[in-house]
Amino acid sequence: MNKLVISCMDRRLNDLIEEQYSDCFIIRNAGANVYPVAKEIKDLIKNKDIREIILLAHTDCGAMNKVFGIIKRGKSADPDLEESLISQYRKLDFDSIDELEKDNLNLQVDKLKSEFPETKIDGRLIRIEDIKVPKDDKIHELILANPSKPGYSGLLDQLSLNHFSAYILQSDTNNIMPDLKLAVADLGVKFIHLISIEKENPRDRKVDQQRLNLIFGKDGVKISIYSYPLKA
């Protein structure tokens, strides 16, 4: 029997997830968003004997700030981001980001309960202010890997990255383009590390690298491939 954690790619959650959920499989994207990863969840339930899903949302969420700015302040939205993230919040009644963050937790938990009624579902809103985060150096990088167990510290050390400087996006590459666009445009990401995890062939990442170079190369984003045995 295994557990699955769905959480945000926010860099400030890296140590908490590894310390408190080390035995769980992890999916991470912008805002702990269930909608684009529903098929992945279904596959993991079947293939990894997942009996419990834990949804970890958090305060001071960049994705929720993006949602709030678009819906309440009339900012423009990328069409892909509108479909995968923004649209689900337009029917909600909220007046502040604090309210939206709580609504997001409830919305995602309700989706999980509806989609996977035979699986135990739990939810938690993490207070970012309770996490001791070093001063932001503004040099942000992003790690992209398929769902796995969170052996982040060893990976970050081998990449010579501060544990709080790298966003970690864990999902199938077919589901994460809106999240990557948000990371580059809104979070200042300039380096993307494609990770070939346990049982994966690094050559399979070459296609992903070429595709991402075509999309983000013009923005000065560098794409690298790295092998590390995160447990799949």
Phi, psi (5° rounding) for residue 139?
-100, 95
Q: What is the dihedral of CA 209, 212, 216, 222, to 10 degrees?
A: -20
The tokens of 204 are what? 């399979």
The tokens of 207 are what? 């296609």
Residue 58 counted as an annotated binding residue: yes
Cβ-based neighbours of 4, under 8 Å, separated by 6 or more: 24, 25, 26, 27, 41, 44, 45, 48, 50, 52, 53, 54, 147
What's the CA gap between 10 and 92, in Å, rounded? 23
Residue 8 counted as an annotated binding residue: yes
Are the beta carbons of 178 and 84 closer than 8 angstroms? yes
Q: CA-based angle 114:117:123, to the nearest 5?
A: 70
Closest by Cα among 72, 150, 69, 57 to 104:
57
Phi, psi (5° rounding) for residue 114?
-70, -40
- CB atoms under 10 Å from CB of 74, counted, come to 8
Give the annotated binding-site residues.
8, 58, 61
Give the annotated binding-site residues for Zn(2+).
8, 58, 61
